[in-house]
A = this chain, B = another copy of it.
Amino acid sequence: MINDKLPKIWYGGDYNPEQWGPEEWSEDDRMFKLAGIDVATINVFAWALLQPDEETYDFSTLDATMDRLYNNGVYVCLGTSTAAHPAWMAKKYPDVTRVDVQGRKRKFGGRHNSCPNSPTYRKYSTRIAGKLAERYKDHPALLIWHVSNEYGGYCYCENCAKAFRVWLKKRYKTIENLNKAWNTRFWGHTFYEWDEVVQPSELSEEWDGNRTNFQGISLDYRRFMSDSLLECYKLEHDEIKKYTPKIPITTNLMGTYPELDYFKWGKEMDVVSWDNYPSLDTPISFTAMSHDLMRGLRSGQPFMLMEQTPSQQNWQAYNSLKRPGVMRLWSYQAVARGADTVMFFQLRRSAGACEKYHGAVIEHVGHEHTRVFRECAELGRELQQLSDKLIDARTQAKVAIVYDWENRWATELSSGPTVALKYVDEVHKYYDALFQLNIEVDMVSVEEDFSKYDLVIAPVMYMVKPGFAKKTEDFVSSGGTFVTTFFSGIVNENDLVTLGGYPGELRSLLGIWAEEIDALFPDQKNRIVMKQPWGELQGEYDCGLLCDLIHSEGAEVLAEYGDDFYQGMPVLTRNRFGSGQAYYIASSPEESFLQGFLSNLCAEKGIKPLVLAGDGLESARRVKNGNAYLFLLNHNASPAEVQIGEIEQKDLLTNETVKGTVMVPARGVMILESKLD
């Protein structure tokens, strides 16, 4: 339980009373009650208010807000306010603003705007975190700490350059090691002194965002920046812990956000929280995958849905309204996949600046007689009714998909063989196939314990870090099934190719050799031709993107290419290794192939779908104290039929008992409780 002061699914969101006055505050109090809101995230962007100059701190407004909320039955998720520095600080200490990837020194503006290696920023952000902790450590409203906000963005200033060199020295010890790791003999880039190293930016090695001359330095700069920002978090975290060792601390993450290695971040957080902002055209399974990934950051521990919009966003190109019922449906999707909170950005819409057209529980009209408010209040009532039933319940998946931020960086920094390879999309293809099959999945790091799983899938495992190959071999030896794909096993953690034949360290496990890698144009296809029917797979399927030209070195060939000069070469192989099996898919297949393929593997391993249902019906399950909670989420605009099996289950939202075939209403939700088998 995140904090047992509030033993239910927390309900609330970001709240900025400092933008308003007493009239609105009393309306807020009244309407929060109507909506069943019991937690407010405050003080997220209030640094300038708390600290009007270098030596003055003024907590009076915050004091009053804390007290008012508490007296009104609302707990506080307390921000440290350090996601945007005050204007006076930028003026007095220019080191707090960043230099961008084009080498331009930024001026005051925006948010997430502080250089993570700025001495000024580190000093004052830590100091204010400490002051807040000291002041509110015993305040009864305090539920959890929210450090900064949506950490992100990189800096390229001279302070960062110096810190980068220190980071490199720590990593490589000697300049010779660094030269080797980055292969600097290429293009004569040998460094003789540490201070010859400059940041990879548009002024040196990079262009167009992710293009680089040297993958090694660009990869390390991403690691360094992720670490630098994490260090800022940790400084605040450690300062707070001095005062409130038992109050949990989090910061809000952003799903598949590319710039930070969230698996490293997860380790430093008491509870993971994240902000979920799908577009109208984001696949439902992509949101589901993001939730599962956030849950995976701390090996399955429940997380917080820190932000979502009640209705509409402002920063997308076309900001559609969430259709009636969709806010509730997506809220339960989060809960189904491990969230123990449902929180919004924002409780009251601001009247000015760029987020004034972002949805809120209390809209500009200011009263409760809106569709959006009614839906929020209805959900508030349901969450109170659910009480602590679902809190702390866990998912029990037998299938894991490996996700790795460093691997993502490396594949996207690669010069060749194709610009079309998007790591996240390839991972999502596998996730989506399992999602459609109603199979539970955990999204895991390369460091996760694989022995919990029967099936581990590592799409495009391009970068094989130390120990990964051995660990995977152990998993398969012991009976596990492992799947990987084209463009895997190519490089080590420094993006240096493992010589002697692809897929490098995974070669003996997979029993194949990839001699060449063909890149297809977007309109080009090849075919996967099954050598003989296998379970749900027979005949042929399209594939594209990249085609590894592989030779079996012991693996059984299940399918061959159907076209081009490598027609007849293997495209799908299975290698028996110890008691288990390792599959290799040499190209990027169409969806129907993956559903058949993964269906076969699950059948072999005895992994059963949660339910049988058609398109748009999502299922998920959480387990606690011997009970299973099966979530049925109907994303269709019409009712959906679902076969849930013959055991009686109780719908927590209606208290009805059901079994066999149930109908889930259009955009409706069922949460079915049963004894765990």
Contacts and interface: CB of A to CB of B under 8 A. Distances in A.
B354 A415 contact: yes
A313 B205 CA distance: 20
Nearest to A316: B416
B516 A203 contact: no
A305 B18 CA distance: 53
A416 B189 CA distance: 44
Interface residues of A, number: 114
Interface stretch (A42-50, A67-75, A256-264): A42-50
A321 B9 CA distance: 55
B353 A88 contact: no
Contacts of A563: none
A245 interface: no
A449 B573 CA distance: 64
Contacts of A201: 107
Contacts of A84: 187-189
Given A45-B187, A502-B364, A108 B352 contact: no
Nearest to A545: B318
Contacts of A371: 515-516
A349 B281 CA distance: 42
Contacts of A321: 516-519, 549
Interface string A542-571: 000000010000000000000001000000
Nearest to A89: B196
A543 B656 CA distance: 44
Contacts of A102: 104
A90 to B, nearest CB: 8
A353 B216 contact: yes
Most B CB contacts (10 A, CB to CB) among A18, A201, A363, A417 go to A417
A188 B352 contact: no
Interface string A494-520: 111101111000000000010111111
Given A111-B187, A213-B353, A313-B416, A318 B519 contact: yes
Interface stretch (A131-139, A178-186, A467-475): A178-186
Contacts of A363: 515-516
Interface string A304-323: 00000001111111111101
A110 interface: yes
Interface string A67-93: 000000000000001001011101100
A219 to B, nearest CB: 11
A88 B179 CA distance: 14
Contacts of A47: 188
A45 B186 contact: yes
A104 B103 contact: yes
Contact of A190 (B87, B181, B213, B215): B87
A169 interface: no
A234 interface: no
B48 A189 contact: yes
Contacts of A198: 107-109
B417 A312 contact: yes
Contacts of A318: 417-420, 519-522
Interface in A406-442: 414-420
Interface in A43-66: 45-49, 52-53
Contact of A499 (B53, B357, B364, B415): B364
A503 to B, nearest CB: 11
Given A187-B111, A198-B108, A311 B192 contact: no
B88 A193 contact: yes
A166 interface: no
29 contacts: A45-B188, A46-B188, A48-B189, A48-B190, A87-B190, A87-B196, A88-B196, A91-B195, A91-B196, A103-B104, A109-B203, A110-B205, A110-B213, A111-B213, A182-B352, A186-B350, A216-B352, A312-B516, A312-B517, A317-B418, A317-B419, A318-B519, A321-B516, A321-B517, A324-B565, A351-B496, A357-B414, A357-B416, A364-B497
Given A107-B204, A314-B416, A357-B517, 4 more contacts: A87-B192, A214-B354, A321-B549, A363-B516
